[in-house]
Chains A and B, each alone.
Chain A
Amino acid sequence: MKHNSFRQITPEMTDPSFIEEIKKMPGGDKILDCIQCGVCAGSCHARFAMDYSPMQVLKMAHLGLKDKVLSSSTIWICASCYTCASRCPRGLNIPAIMSGFKNMAMKNNVRAPIELKPKFHKAFTEIVSKYGRMHEPELKMKITNKANFNELKDNVTLAMRMFRKGKLKLQPSKLNSSTHFSDIVKNVLKEEAKK
Chain B
Amino acid sequence: MKYAYFPGCSIDASAKEYAMAANAINKLLDVELIEIPDWNCCGSIDAVHAYNPLLSVTLSTRNLALAENMKMDVVTLCSACFFTLSRASNMLRENADIKSKVERAINDAGLKYAGEVKVRHYMDVLANDVGYEKIRQKVTVPLKGLKVAPYYGCLIVRPPGIQKFDDPEHPTSMDKVIQALGAEAVLYPDKTSCCGASLVITDEEVMMEMTKHPLLSAKNAKADCIVTPCPMCHFNLDAKQKDIEDRFDVEIGISVLYITQLIGLAFGLSPKELGLHRNIVSPDKILEKLQVESKHGQNVVGKH
Q: Looking at the complex, which one of A48, A79, A93, A189 makes contact with B199 (CB distance below 8 Å)?
A: A79
- Residues of A with Cβ closer than 8 Å to B? 26, 45-46, 48-49, 76-77, 79-83, 85-86, 93, 95, 99, 102-103, 106, 114, 116-117, 120-122, 124-125, 128-129, 132-134, 136, 139-140, 143, 158, 161-162, 164-169, 173, 175-176, 179-181, 183-185, 187-192
Considering only residues 1-54 of chain B, those with a C-beta below 8 Å from chain A are 9, 12-16, 37-38, 40-41, 44-54
Q: Does B179 contact A (CB under 8 A)?
A: no
Residues in chain B near residue A48, CB distance under 8 A: 209
CA distance A35 to B14 in the complex (A): 43
- The segment out of B139-147, B152-160, B218-226 that lies at the interface is B152-160
Q: A31–B55 Cα gap in the complex (Å)?
A: 24
User: Which of B91, B193, B197, B202 gathers most chain A CB within 10 Å?
Assistant: B202
Q: Is the interface of A mostly helix, strand, loop or mixed?
A: helix
| Residue of A46, A129, A164, A181 with highest tally of chain B CB at under 10 A | A46
Q: Which residues of B contact A190 (CB under 8 A)?
A: 105
Partner of B50, one of A103, A136, A143, A181: A103
- Tell me the minimal C-beta distance from A77 to chain B in angstroms: 6
The docked-state distance in angstroms from the alpha carbon of A132 to that of B210 is 30
Which B residues are within 8 Å of any A CB, using their own CB? Answer: 9, 12-16, 37-38, 40-41, 44-55, 58-59, 62, 66, 91, 95, 98, 101, 104-106, 108-111, 154-155, 158-160, 168-169, 192-194, 196-199, 201-203, 205-206, 209-210, 239, 277-280, 302
Interchain residue pairs A-B with the least CB separation, the first 5? A81-B194, A180-B109, A102-B50, A82-B158, A187-B105
By a CB distance below 8 angstroms, the chain A residues around B91 are 26
Which residues from chain B contact A49 at a C-beta distance below 8 Å? 203, 205-206, 209
A77-B159 contact in complex given A133-B41, A188-B105, C-beta closer than 8 Å: no
Whether A180 and B110, one on each chain, are in contact in the complex, defined by CB atoms closer than 8 angstroms, is yes
Contact between B105 and A191, CB atoms less than 8 A apart:
yes
- Closest chain B residue, CB of each to CB of A187: B105
- A117-B202, A165-B280, A179-B38 known; A82-B105 Cβ under 8 A: no
Check A134–B9 contact: CB distance below 8 A.
yes
Decide: A124 and B14 in contact? CB cutoff 8 A: no
A-side contacts of B210, CB under 8 Å: 45-46, 79
Please name 6 pairs of A and B residues whose Cβ atoms are closer than 8 Å in the assembled complex, sorted by A: A49-B203, A117-B202, A128-B59, A165-B279, A169-B13, A191-B54
Which residues of chain B are within 8 angstroms of A114 by Cβ–Cβ distance?
Answer: 202-203
- Chain B residues with Cβ below 8 Å from A81 are 154-155, 158, 194
| Minimal beta-carbon separation of B57 from chain A (angstroms) | 9
CA distance A86 to B192 in the complex (A): 12
- Compute how far the CA of A75 lies from the CA of B48 in the bound complex, rounded to whole angstroms: 15
Which residues on A sit within 8 Å (CB–CB) of B13? 134, 136, 167-169
- Let me know if B38 and A99 touch, CB within 8 A: no
Q: Which residue in A26, A80, A124 is a CB contact (below 8 Å) of B95?
A: A26
CB distance from B7 to the nearest CB of A (A): 10
B48 x A125 contact (CB < 8 A): yes
Complexed CA–CA distance, A191 and B38 (Å): 24
Check B16–A166 contact: CB distance below 8 A. yes
Could you tell me the distance between the alpha carbons of A106 and B47 in the complex, rounded to whole angstroms?
Answer: 12
Q: Is the CB of A161 within 8 A of B46?
A: no
Known: A106-B50, A165-B278. A77 touches B199 (CB 8 A): yes
Cβ of A181 to closest chain B Cβ, rounded Å: 6
Q: Is the CB of A103 within 8 A of B53?
A: yes
**Chain A's nearest CB lies how many Å from the CB of B41?**
5
The closest CB in chain B to the CB of A88 belongs to B159
Beyond A49-B203, A133-B9, A161-B239, whether A167 also contacts B154 by CB under 8 A is no
In the complex, residue of chain A having the shortest beta-carbon distance to the beta carbon of B110: A180
Q: Is the CB of B206 within 8 A of A46?
A: yes
In the complex, the answer to whether B55 meets A185 with C-beta atoms within 8 Å is: yes
Contact A86 B40 (CB under 8 A): no
Contact B54 A79 (CB under 8 A): no
Distance between Cα atoms of A97 and B270 in the complex (Å): 46
The closest CB in chain A to the CB of B279 belongs to A165
B residues in contact with A165, CB < 8 Å: 277-280, 302
